[in-house]
Amino acid sequence: QVQLVESGGGSVQAGGSLRLSCAAFGYSYSGSWVGWFRQAPGKEREGVACIYTAGDITTYADSVKGRFTISQDNAKNTVYLQMNSLKPEDTAMYYCAADWRVGVGCLFPDVYKYWGQGTQVTVSS
């Protein structure tokens, strides 16, 4: 049974930082696509960042470029999202997702099969 488990969310003030983790169980990130998504109340789920673990290829949404960094730790089978210079508009539930067959369009949620349960990020002004 595949499980993706997010952690690291919390409440911070604007300008602060958080690091989210997405640990996989029953699933190997090796050679896989992993994405981070977020969804604010009343809004659609949007892609934030994604990584192809085999080539360490990363893609970012324009709204987070230069502030967020996605990375992987193969030994821990975990993908991270380092979030710096956080803004109130970054407030959302953050989810990780994984699949082996994503390819181009890794910021689109519909291409992923496996999802975590989410972790809340709240940024106050």
Residues of the chain with pLDDT under 50: none
Residue-wise pLDDT tens digits, 78-89: 999 999 999 999
3-state secondary structure the chain: CCEEEEECCEEEECCCCEEEEEEEECCCCCCCEEEEEEECCCCCCEEEEEEECCCCEEEECCCCCCCEEEEEEHHHCEEEEEECCCCHHHCEEEEEEEECCCCCCCCCHHHCCEEECCEEEEEEC
Residue-level pLDDT at 119: 98
